[in-house]
A and B are shown apart, each in its own frame.
Chain A
Amino acid sequence: MAASMCSRGLGPWVLSRSHALPCAWRALHVSAACAKNRAARVRVGKGDKPVTYEEAHAPHHIAHRKGWLSLHTGLLLGSALWFPLRYGNLDGQDHAAERTVEDVFLRKFVLGTFPGCLADQLVLKRRANQVEVCALVLRQLPAHKLYFLVGYSEALLSHFYKCPVRMHLQTVPSKVVYKYI
């Protein structure tokens, strides 16, 4: 997700001077640097930091030791052909980006709706035209309050995305620690 924005103010002026030169101008980075060797990793500490299984493994372990947190078929060619209900055009192109944006919104929304109750990252599954949000929840709130929040988020998200959104909760007494790093 790192995006380096090059300021091209100097570019065209430079090029107009030397037409034959290939693009070899100095780029100006104006965003924070996000190195890809630090992405999605919990930095090793003194041995007192508890991490879950999900956090303990780096992204290169995906498909080897851990699965995906968000499952959809947006990258398949022609995926929109089968489910035209949600996709306006039937090309099957560049829907992965839209799914990712929806994922970001869903994660932020559920994180805020269940304050301090989530024990781990959400798992989002898309099946036909439905979205299934699978959450691992701590037993902070009494059960009827959890049901209230489930009904609320299901209804609101369904109206927002115009498709059935279902929530599946699993409760754990505390965060499931895999190891201490």
Chain B
Amino acid sequence: MAAAASARCLGVRCRLPLPLTSRRASPLGRARSCRFYSGSATLPKGEGADVTGIEVVIPKRKTWDKVAVLQALASTVNRDTTAAPYAFQDDPYLIPTSSVESRSFLLAKKSGENAAKFIINLHPKYFQKDIAEPHIPCLMPECFEPQIEDISEAALQERIKLKKVKASVDMFDQLLQAGTTVSLETTNSLLDLLCYYGDQEPPADYHFQQSEKSEELEEASEENTEKPKKKAGQQLGATWRAKNNAERIFALMPEKNAHSYYTMIRGMVKHRAPVQALNLYTELLNNRLHADVYTFNSLIEATAMMNEKYEEKWNNMLELLKQMAMQKVKPNLQTFNTILKCLRRFYAFGKLPALQTLREMKALGIEPSLATYHYIIQLFYQHESPSKGSSLVIYDIMNELMGKKFSPQDPDDDMFFQSAMRVCSSLKDLELAYQVHGLLNTGDNWKFIGPSHRRNFYYSKFFSLLCLMEQIDITLKWYKDLIPSVFFPHSQALIDLLRALDVANRLEVIPQIWKDSKEYGHTFRSNLKEEILMLMARDQHPPELQVAFADCAADIKSTYESQDARQTAPDWPAGSLNCIAVLFLRAGRAQEAWKMLGLFKKHNKIPRNELLNEFMDNAKASNSPAQAIEIVRLASAFSLPVCEGLAQRVMTDFAISQEQKEALGHLTASASDSDSDSSSDSDGDINEGK
């Protein structure tokens, strides 16, 4: 009955005859669109006569984000692999060609913005006209000087807001001397400021210094976790001096509440004064106050900083956690991350506690973040020695993380992908690397790749693994996809690629690789050039390929020459000279090949025997005894033992005149002067020949 009525009204709306089966399928909402709709496949068609008890479920109205259309359009477009990142200007002169250049361009742009902000804040009166509606606060000039001049609590609060440490401490002292009591919240916020900055002024270019220092740490040692910790301790922030302003003000406070204790403890731990922090904690407990979760996190760090044995430290941490449970403070993600971060330094001892921590986390229902997994990977894969039998925890981790999307929760979240790829590379597991890369491309996880040096590290390791393990066609596809739009390869990465091409017998791609290497700033990288030349010159190849190789060799030769022009002492490696000469010879560019022979003397390098033999073959093919004799002369000039053989060959293969024979004899005589064994025989021969 109800269904008939609904069918009628549906029919009225849609003006189409509806088959009976589809009636129960579609919700009323759909019928508004006047389209012929088919039944949903999920509902069973079997319930034929059950039309009366149907509930029509009207779906909730969808609310769309303001930029939903743009997001949908953006999802249809993939990354352009031929374009430089959008932060750069789209011009060949302005597109960076190496990672050093890309970093310097972005820094230059940021420095320009800082210069503009400086000018704007210096002359704010020109930038006050506000024509934007609604008001855009970030485009207005900022005021960095305190406005209120008199001694009052409001002035103190203003100075605290402007983060002026010394000025606020002075104002506080003046207030106390004047006799006015400062309220508890203001004193607490003053303590916050002092503890956060360790009683020092915040540095003027705070953000720049932070990022530079952390990058130095990364580049210095990626695998070694111990050294960066020590360096971090020395560079980040100041040490907590005893009797500094924060402690003095804390002692002066007539009444302290829990917040004061929290700030002091956290400040002491941040500036590496764990003993005072723990003492203050006992004082907190003596005053019958409870600590909050952030304070407990700091205290856990403090126990790890103390100079004790691993077991003792771990027991202390467990003790703290028990107290936390007693005080009914719920741990959060940071608690567990801090525990794992401290366990990292315990080496082998920390493995079991780490797994226990992870289980506890799951039991409490706290979702681990990427930083958690990063700490676990670092703990279990600290030293790259697969021979010791590395654990399989990475596989469990990746199985767990498949398809998950993360949001930023911990400052160390962006270290996960780097350490995961490092492990894949050391385990030489390509499937795992694909899994990690798949996780990176899920949802918004690309944001966790980190700053440029971390991204470069990740992709270098990934690409090296691909060159080692993957089929050459797929490797070349990845090459085109990643380079140079995502990262600029090191010369080692290109050498790995060349070796992969060698293994797969695809040497014809080599000239293209050389052309690309020049664009990435490897024009003067001698190990790369030697590798290329060696691979090209090793075997014989069909003629067209030989011509291409010869062109490539000529190009490399010109780079050596331009390098010579810049340096005072010419320095061509012997291998390169040999290879270039061979390549010219094989491609039929005989004149240039002969010029190369002349260069050997100039650079004090010795030609190889195979090279001279090839020249002899070439001379035979072109049937010129003069060249043959030239070769022998060269060999004798270098006092090579092969000179004998060459001379014999000349005499047998070529039709030479008498003078030439004599000249040859002289040459062999002078060469064999140093050689004692065959000297008598050849002398005898020559005398007879005369």
List A residues at the B interface (Cβ < 8 Å): 84-86, 88, 139, 143-156, 158-163, 168-171
Contact = CB atoms under 8 A, between A and B. Distances in A.
A156 B89 CA distance: 18
Chain B CB count within 10 A is highest, among A86, A139, A155, A171, for A155
Contacts of B2: none
A158 B483 CA distance: 34
Given A86-B132, A88-B131, A159-B120, A152 B91 contact: no
Given A154-B113, A155-B112, A162-B131, A147 B105 contact: yes
A168 to B, nearest CB: 7
Contacts, number: 89
A154 B91 CA distance: 18
Interface in B92-142: 92-94, 96, 101, 104-106, 108-113, 115-117, 119-120, 126-127, 129-134, 136, 139-141
A159 B141 contact: yes
B117 A144 contact: no
Given A144-B105, A151-B110, A160-B126, 18 more contacts: A85-B134, A86-B131, A143-B101, A144-B108, A145-B108, A146-B89, A147-B105, A147-B112, A148-B112, A148-B115, A151-B111, A151-B112, A155-B112, A156-B120, A159-B141, A160-B127, A163-B132, A169-B89
Given A159-B127, A160-B127, A88 B133 contact: yes
B109 A151 contact: yes
Secondary structure at the A interface, as helix, strand, loop or mixed, is: helix
Contacts of A148: 108-109, 111-112, 115
A171 B111 contact: no
Contacts of A147: 89, 94, 105-106, 108-109, 112
Nearest to B106: A147
A152 B115 contact: yes
Given A143-B94, A144-B105, A160-B127, A150 B89 contact: yes
A160 to B, nearest CB: 6
Interface of B: 89-94, 96, 101, 104-106, 108-113, 115-117, 119-120, 126-127, 129-134, 136, 139-141
B133 A152 contact: no
A121 B109 CA distance: 23
Contacts of A159: 116, 120, 127, 139-141
A143 B116 CA distance: 19
Contacts of B106: 147
What 10 A-B pairs come out closest when comparing CB atoms?
A151-B112, A155-B116, A152-B112, A151-B109, A162-B132, A156-B116, A144-B108, A148-B112, A147-B108, A171-B93
B579 to A, nearest CB: 35
Contacts of B136: 162
20 contacts: A143-B94, A145-B108, A147-B105, A147-B109, A148-B111, A148-B112, A149-B112, A150-B109, A151-B113, A151-B116, A152-B113, A154-B112, A155-B117, A156-B116, A158-B139, A160-B127, A162-B136, A163-B132, A169-B91, A171-B94
B89 A85 contact: no
A143 B93 contact: yes
Chain A CB count within 10 A is highest, among B115, B126, B134, for B115
A90 to B, nearest CB: 10
A146 B101 CA distance: 13
A169 B127 contact: no
Contacts of A88: 131, 133
Contacts of A144: 104-105, 108
Contacts of B134: 85
Contacts of B91: 169-171
B105 A143 contact: yes
Chain B CB count within 10 A is highest, among A88, A147, A155, A161, for A147
A159 B114 CA distance: 12
Contacts of B117: 155
A162 B669 CA distance: 90
A77 B115 CA distance: 40
Contact of B130 (A145, A151, A155, A162): A162
B678 to A, nearest CB: 63
A123 B95 CA distance: 22
B118 to A, nearest CB: 10
A119 to B, nearest CB: 13
Nearest to A170: B91
Contacts of A139: 93
B113 A155 contact: yes
B119 A169 contact: no
A168 B113 CA distance: 16
B68 to A, nearest CB: 18
A157 B105 CA distance: 20
Nearest to A139: B93
A61 B106 CA distance: 41
Contacts of A153: 112, 116
B133 A84 contact: yes
B86 to A, nearest CB: 11
Nearest to A151: B112
A114 to B, nearest CB: 12
Nearest to A145: B108
A158 B141 CA distance: 11
Chain A CB count within 10 A is highest, among B111, B113, B115, for B113
Contacts of B110: 151
Contacts of A84: 133
Contacts of B129: 162
A150 B88 CA distance: 11
Contacts of A86: 131-133
A72 B106 CA distance: 31
Nearest to B95: A143
A171 B116 CA distance: 23
Contacts of A146: 89, 94
Nearest to B135: A162
A36 to B, nearest CB: 32
A169 B105 CA distance: 14
A1 B116 CA distance: 32
Nearest to A144: B108
B134 to A, nearest CB: 7
Contacts of A158: 139
A151 B131 contact: no
Contacts of A168: 89-90
B108 A151 contact: yes
Nearest to B110: A151
B126 to A, nearest CB: 7
